[in-house]
Amino acid sequence: MPIIESIPNVSEGRRADVIERLANAIRSTPGVRLLDYSADASHNRSVFTLAGDAAGVRAAILALFAVAVEAIDLRTHSGEHPRLGAVDVVPFVPIEGVTMADCVALAKDVGAAIAERFAVPVYLYEEASTNAARKNLEDIRRGEFEGLAAKMASPGWTPDFGPTRPHETAGASVVGARMPLIAYNINLDTDRLDVAKKIAAAIRHSSGGLRYVKAMGVMLEDRRLAQVSMNLTNYEKTPIFRVFDLVKREAERYGVSILESEVVGLVPSAALIRSAEYYLQLDRFGDDQLLEKKLSQG
Amino acid sequence: MPIIESIPNVSEGRRADVIERLANAIRSTPGVRLLDYSADASHNRSVFTLAGDAAGVRAAILALFAVAVEAIDLRTHSGEHPRLGAVDVVPFVPIEGVTMADCVALAKDVGAAIAERFAVPVYLYEEASTNAARKNLEDIRRGEFEGLAAKMASPGWTPDFGPTRPHETAGASVVGARMPLIAYNINLDTDRLDVAKKIAAAIRHSSGGLRYVKAMGVMLEDRRLAQVSMNLTNYEKTPIFRVFDLVKREAERYGVSILESEVVGLVPSAALIRSAEYYLQLDRFGDDQLLEKKLSQG
């Protein structure tokens, strides 16, 4: 049974009734499960995590759009988080028995359906991107809803699907395919924010570090601890253990040690199994040696 | 859905037709799955791995006994591996949704049924043991089939179930409950067998080491490598990472490093997840953060 995960981000984090209608649109779709959802009032944004086969995930995203396009008006929407559309971003993530290519195909199929059914322009991003300048979500979203009409009229910003002008109330949506993202933080045994910032700069891709790491230094005010806060965007190519070891080594330069690390939210078990293999120097280990995997196959 | 694993060891490793009949006895039982089986001709012994709910596992073990008691005659059996019975050992292992107490109860229930149905005496061992002197498999099996009649007549060796004399052709069986066993080896970057033996002596329970470690030093003749070969009998209380780190530290004393380690056969994924948590200093990690676990619950 193939499993695709999708994590739509919707520009509504305050009206509980709308958030419930969005959740119910997913819940009432056969072939998918709503695994988790949370709303952030200051961001005025909610994030839904759902999983199922391609047909189920497709139907659930379209059902979500129907509610969002009807209930959300970006002209009166404000929040701390940047956004371009009522349904802002829709990534499809391969989990089990599907390839990245399957998720790219699904993103294109769903993107075309969104444009046709709701007259919302769609940009493809990440692995589904058809244009190197429009691979990165931040690049597509720059200017936000307020700057969207001007942006869409400028060269290179014709959407992949749908009208060449923003939807009046729902803006545009960004749809694509990517690897599972791991939110991973390392707390340093210091209150020196500058150290966390220097380490973040050393390890993140944008300033010369590891290819699939986004990182920033932040302060945990209540605990007086500096934290390296990260997103790992491809744990197969840039594994957790390499990030941990590199942060540890960089911290040593400042005489700082690691207090603890944390995974926020969900993590594919493979990301941790690979870490165990690394530290235990496990040779020729195969996932078919995992008891649970063997049991689930029969 | 609760899952119990059982790994019956049968004293037949040469006659392919008998081994197939034994496997088919398990395969044809509803409510269980035969996950794996292998036969060793020099040991003249085969090992079956099956899993299912309590009723399924019970029925499969009794079906296996019916074939083994009919087909195997220990009076003419010889092999390198010590053995007491046609079905030599039957452990029950809690995997999911069952407790050790459930497995102990199952061992007693199945032990009584074996004695009644096949007139084979049964000793309970490990967690199911009713007698401190008969907890350890090696203690029960000492003297083997050939010495069994005399042993059973001596004080303290009345079986837990069944006749007080061996079954004429099938001997006696040892039935019990235990944690999943992990076969774990560490290859040293040396051909010095004495170093592997000294490390094994330092880390194993029997000579003062970690509580749930059995270890010996062996030579991998074809690769000219010394190996610390281990069984980890309770990975929750004596975790893999602690064993690995201790072997590494002991090896340093002799100027030897670890080349690689290996898991032989199956391992519960929790044993590796715990190792990742340890090395990554993961704080407050819960198994409900594993994507696969979340997906399987829905």
ipTM of this model?
0.76
User: What pLDDT digit, counting tens, does each position of A57-68 carry?
Assistant: 999 999 999 999
Q: Per-residue pLDDT for A298 more than 60?
A: no
Across chain A, the runs of DSSP E, i.e. the strands, are 3-6, 9-10, 32-40, 45-52, 87-96, 122-126, 173-177, 182-188, 213-220, 225-232, 258-264
Number of C-beta neighbours around residue B284 at 10 A: 9
Please give the helix or strand (H or E) that residue A197 lies within, else none: helix A193-203
Please give the helix or strand (H or E) that residue B126 lies within, else none: strand B122-126
Residues A262, B275: C-beta atoms closer than 8 Å: no
Question: Does residue B30 sit at the A interface (CB-CB below 8 Å)?
Answer: no
Question: Does residue B291 sit at the A interface (CB-CB below 8 Å)?
Answer: yes
For the segment B143-164, the average pLDDT, to the nearest whole number, is: 96
Structure tokens at A86: 């009522």
User: What pLDDT digit, counting tens, does each position of A33-66 carry?
Assistant: 999 899 988 889 999 999 999 999 999 999 999 9
For the segment B64-69, the average pLDDT, to the nearest whole number, is: 98
Give residue A205's pLDDT band: very low, low, confident or very high (50, 70, 90): very high
Q: Contact B176/B127 with Cβ under 8 angstroms?
A: yes
| Nearest CA-CA distance, residue A215 and chain B, Å | 17
Instruction: Find the residue in A nearest to B245 (Cα).
Output: A280
Lowest mean pLDDT among A22-36, A283-297, B25-39: A283-297
Percent of all residues in chain B with a pLDDT value above 70, rounded to a whole number: 99
Question: Does residue B254 sit at the A interface (CB-CB below 8 Å)?
Answer: no
Residues B263, A273: C-beta atoms closer than 8 Å: no
The partner residue sitting opposite B272, judged by closest CB among A3, A265, A276, is A276
Number of C-beta neighbours around residue B295 at 10 A: 17
Judging contacts by C-beta atoms under 8 Å, the chain A residues touching residue B268 are 290-292
| Catalytic center residues of A | 81
Cα–Cα distance between B133 and B147 in angstroms, integer?
Answer: 18
Q: Per-residue pLDDT for B298 more than 70?
A: no
Ramachandran angles phi, psi of A118, nearest 5°: -115, 0
| Nearest CA-CA distance, residue A275 and chain B, Å | 5
For the segment A7-19, the average pLDDT, to the nearest whole number, is: 97
Surface-to-core class of residue A92, CB atoms within 10 Å of its CB (0-12 exposed, 13-18 middle, 19+ buried): buried
* CA nearest to A139, candidates A120, A114, A156, A153: A156
pLDDT at res. B232: 96
Q: Per-residue pLDDT for A293 more than 90?
A: no
What are the C-alpha distances in Å from A67 to residues A58, B107, B198?
15, 56, 69
Q: Contact B61/B6 with Cβ under 8 angstroms?
A: yes
List the Cα angle B179/B212/B10 in 5-degree steps: 50
pLDDT at res. B99: 93
pLDDT at res. B291: 86
Residues B3, A260: C-beta atoms closer than 8 Å: no
Residues A263, B294: C-beta atoms closer than 8 Å: no
Cα–Cα distance between B89 and B122 in angstroms, integer?
Answer: 10
Residues A291, B95: C-beta atoms closer than 8 Å: yes
Ramachandran angles phi, psi of B125, nearest 5°: -135, 175
Q: Return the CA Rg of chain A.
A: 20
The partner residue sitting opposite A291, judged by closest CB among B260, B266, B289, is B266
Cβ neighbours for B255, distance < 8 A, ≥ 6 positions apart: none
Q: Per-residue pLDDT for A219 more than 80?
A: yes
Structure tokens at A189: 């045994």
Cα–Cα distance between A109 and A129 in angstroms, integer?
Answer: 13
For the segment A157-171, the average pLDDT, to the nearest whole number, is: 97
For the segment A236-242, the average pLDDT, to the nearest whole number, is: 96
| Catalytic center residues of B | 81
User: What pLDDT digit, counting tens, does each position of B165-207 carry?
Assistant: 999 999 999 999 999 999 999 999 999 999 999 999 999 999 9
DSSP state of B206: G
Cβ neighbours for B216, distance < 8 A, ≥ 6 positions apart: B197, B200, B204, B228, B229
Give residue A265's pLDDT band: very low, low, confident or very high (50, 70, 90): confident
pLDDT at res. A248: 97
Residues B259, A267: C-beta atoms closer than 8 Å: no
Which residue type, as a one-letter code, is found at position A7?
Answer: I
Mean pLDDT over the full length of chain B: 95
Give residue B292's pLDDT band: very low, low, confident or very high (50, 70, 90): confident
For the segment A84-108, the average pLDDT, to the nearest whole number, is: 95
Q: Contact A171/A74 with Cβ under 8 angstroms?
A: yes
Q: Per-residue pLDDT for A115 more than 90?
A: yes
Structure tokens at A70: 């009807």
User: What pLDDT digit, counting tens, does each position of B208-258 carry?
Assistant: 999 999 999 999 988 999 999 999 999 999 999 999 999 999 999 999 999
Q: Per-residue pLDDT for A297 more than 70?
A: no
Pairing of strands A173-177, A122-126: parallel
Residues B269, A258: C-beta atoms closer than 8 Å: no
| Nearest CA-CA distance, residue A187 and chain B, Å | 10
Surface-to-core class of residue A24, CB atoms within 10 Å of its CB (0-12 exposed, 13-18 middle, 19+ buried): middle
Mutation choice for B interface testing from A291, A294, A295, A296 by most B CBs within 10 A: A291
Give residue B59's pLDDT band: very low, low, confident or very high (50, 70, 90): very high
Q: Contact A67/A11 with Cβ under 8 angstroms?
A: no
| Nearest CA-CA distance, residue B168 and chain A, Å | 37
